Structure 1
Amino acid sequence: MKHRKLYPDNWEELAWTCKEQAGWCCEHCGVPHGTPAISQRTGEEYTIYLAAAHLDHDPWNPCPRLAALCPSCHGRYDWHDYERKRWLELEILRHQVWIQAHGYGEME
C-alpha cells in the first residue's frame, strides 16, 4: 500500500468493513470482487480486487468516508480529484502572474 504511514492503525479493519457493507461488489459499476477480467491494454487475464477508496482523499482521517471500488472505477475517481487539484494550481499561478503584472506583488 502506498503511503501506509498516513493511514490509521485500524486501516485493514476499516477497508474490510467497507467491502463487506458493499457486498464485495464495486459501488460504482457493480463488478464482484475476485472476478476474472481481460486487460484491454495487454490482453492478459487478471483478477479484479476491490479497494476501499477515500471519497474525501484523506487517508489520515481515523473515520474516513470510504467506497469499495474496482481498479477502473478507483482510477477514474482519483483522476477527477487529480485534475481538480491541477486546475486549482494553475489558477493560483495565473492569479500570481496577474498580481505581479499589475504591480500588486511589490513590497514598499
Structure 2
Amino acid sequence: METLDYKALGFWLQAIQALITGAVFLYVWLTNRQKANTSAIKELREELTRSINDMDDRVIRVEKDIEHLPTHSDMAGLHARVNDANDSIKSMSGELKQMNHTLQLINDHLLNNRGH
C-alpha cells in the first residue's frame, strides 16, 4: 500500500481553501458592487420622480395663470376701445385749440379796444 504524503495533501487542502476564499471574496465584491449600483439607480429614480412631480406642479400653475389671461378677441376689443378713446382725445384736442384761438381773439379785442 502506498503511504499518504501528508505534506502534499496539506498543500492541496490549503490551495483549495485559498481558491474558495478567493471565490467568496470575488462573489462578495461583485454583490456589493451590484448593491451600490442598485442603490444609485433607486436614488436617481426617486430624484427624477421628485423633479417630474415638481415640474407637473409648475405646469399646472402656469396653465391656471394662462386661463386668466385675456384672449385674442379680448385684446382686439381692448385695442378698439383704445383707438376710440384716442379718436375722442384727438377730437377734443382740436376743439380745445379752436376754443383757445377764440379766447385769444376775444382777449386781443378787449385789450385793443379798451381805450375806445
Q: Same fold (TM over 0.5)?
A: no
Q: Please identify which structure carries the higher strand content.
A: 1
Q: Please identify which structure carries the higher helix content.
A: 2
Q: Which has the larger radius of gyration?
A: 2
> Scaled by the length of structure 1, what TM-score is found?
0.34
> Scaled by the length of structure 2, what TM-score is found?
0.32
